[in-house]
């Protein structure tokens, strides 16, 4: 609306100002703004009651059930993530992730990207992070399952790569953060025919691409952050390996001898002194 005001010539502008002093013209402006509001396939949750498409929810549930049926898997992902710097400029950061997971308590994830090389290892007891370039190593006592670990690490400032994928594969639910859902149609991801689904939730609009056919694997995930005016995006394209055997040594890691110790979260305590997460503090 302001743009149209600015594009007017001075005389028209003065006339418009005078015009706005009449109550009726406000009505006209308000109604025109209401009609000019963008219409999208997904209704904003505040505007009207959610009309989540059951077909989209069913497709998500089918994929989730399939992932939970895999005893172990390896996945490689190309990830991009916008960083908003103070001027509102969106820098795209990217990384490659190689991850192996074994139900219910093993994970190894190697990340190489703009932020440097990171290695995350969870062995059912400790979650360790090794920053190869900076030669830092940190380790924290973790819950006994991967799902429990995922739910508790956020408060330590640790963000595991491909968090949603691991979370749902281990039995977590994304449904609590769905206020709207739509089945968009068939879309191709790296030569694989997929169903594209669109969801809306708290602080995020997100899209999933799920492989069509017998193996409803996640092939792509896009998340738009909607509570930031710059609306930065995250995207991950997944390549699966369900055949290479996963062995115990995949989850073993010993840091180099000269490594420097890193703490987590607020850094008030040393990592060696970190108490176990609250949910397993009492035996």
Partner 1 sequence: MTHRKRRIIAALAALLATAFIPSHSPTEAQARGVSRSYARSSVHASRNVNVNRNVNVNVHNDYHYDHWGHPIAAAVAVTATAVAVGTMVAALPPHCSVLVVGSVTYQNCGGVYYQPVYRADTVQYVVVNHP
Q: Which residues sit at the interface with partner 1, rule CB under 8 A? A: 2, 5-6, 17, 20-21, 81-89, 91, 93, 115, 118, 129, 131, 134, 136, 138, 154, 157-159, 163-164, 167-168, 172, 174, 176-177, 199, 201-204, 206, 223-225, 228-230, 232-234, 260-268, 270-272
Q: How far is the CB of 11 from partner 1 (least distance, A)?
A: 17
- Nearby residues of 49 by Cβ (< 8 Å), 6 or more positions away: none
Nearest one of 108, 118, 111 to 95, comparing CA atoms: 111
C-beta of 60 vs 195, nearer to partner 1 = 60
Shortest Cβ 30–partner 1 spacing (Å):
14
CB of 222 or CB of 246, closer to partner 1:
222
Helix (H) or strand (E) segment spanning residue 72 = strand 72-84
By C-beta, is 237 or 246 nearer to partner 1?
Answer: 237
Nearer to partner 1, 167 or 246 (CB): 167
Cβ-based nearer residue to partner 1, 72 or 131? 131
Q: How far is the CB of 277 from partner 1 (least distance, A)?
A: 15
CA dihedral 238, 243, 244, 246 (to 10 degrees): 90
| Burial class of residue 65, CB neighbours in 10 A (0-12, 13-18, 19+) | exposed
Q: How far is the CB of 62 from partner 1 (least distance, A)?
A: 17
Smallest distance from the beta carbon of 49 to partner 1, in angstroms? 20
Nearest distance from C-beta of residue 45 to partner 1, angstroms: 14
Provide the H-helix boundaries in 143-257: 146-153, 163-169
Residue 196 contacts residue 187 (beta carbons within 8 Å) = yes
3-state secondary structure (DSSP) of residue 12 = helix
When the beta carbons of 228 and 244 are compared against partner 1, the nearer one is: 228
Please state, in angstroms and rounded to a whole number, the distance separating the CA atoms of residues 124 and 129: 14
The count of other CB atoms within 10 Å of the CB of residue 241 is 12
DSSP 8-state class, residue 121: E
């Amino acid at each position: 609306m302001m743009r149209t005001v600015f594009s007017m010539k001075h005389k028209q502008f003065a006339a418009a100002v005078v015009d706005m002093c009449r109550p009726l013209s406000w009505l006209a402006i308000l109604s025109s703004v209401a009609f000019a509001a963008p219409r999208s396939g997904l209704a904003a949750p505040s505007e009207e009651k959610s009309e989540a498409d059951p077909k989209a929810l069913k497709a998500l549930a089918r994929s989730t059930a399939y992932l939970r049926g895999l005893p172990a898997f390896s996945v490689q992902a190309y990830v991009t993530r916008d960083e908003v710097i103070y001027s509102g400029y969106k820098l795209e950061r990217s990384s490659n992730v190689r991850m192996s997971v074994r139900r219910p308590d093993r994970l190894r994830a190697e990340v190489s990207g703009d932020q440097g090389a990171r290695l995350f290892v969870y062995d059912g007891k400790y979650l360790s992070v090794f920053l190869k370039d900076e030669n830092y190593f940190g380790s924290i006592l973790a819950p006994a399952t991967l799902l429990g670990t995922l739910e508790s690490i956020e408060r330590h400032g640790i963000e595991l790569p491909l968090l949603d994928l691991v979370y749902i594969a281990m039995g977590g639910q994304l449904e609590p953060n769905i206020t709207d859902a739509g089945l968009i149609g068939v879309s191709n991801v790296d030569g694989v025919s997929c169903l594209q689904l669109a969801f809306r939730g708290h602080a995020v609009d997100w899209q999933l691409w799920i492989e069509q056919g017998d193996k409803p694997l996640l092939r792509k995930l896009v998340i738009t952050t909607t509570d930031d005016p710059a609306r930065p995006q995250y995207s991950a394209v997944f390549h699966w390996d369900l055949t290479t055997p996963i062995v115990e040594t995949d989850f073993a890691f010993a840091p180099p001898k000269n490594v420097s110790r890193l703490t987590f979260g607020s850094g008030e305590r040393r990592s060696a002194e970190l108490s176990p997460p609250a949910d397993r503090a009492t035996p």
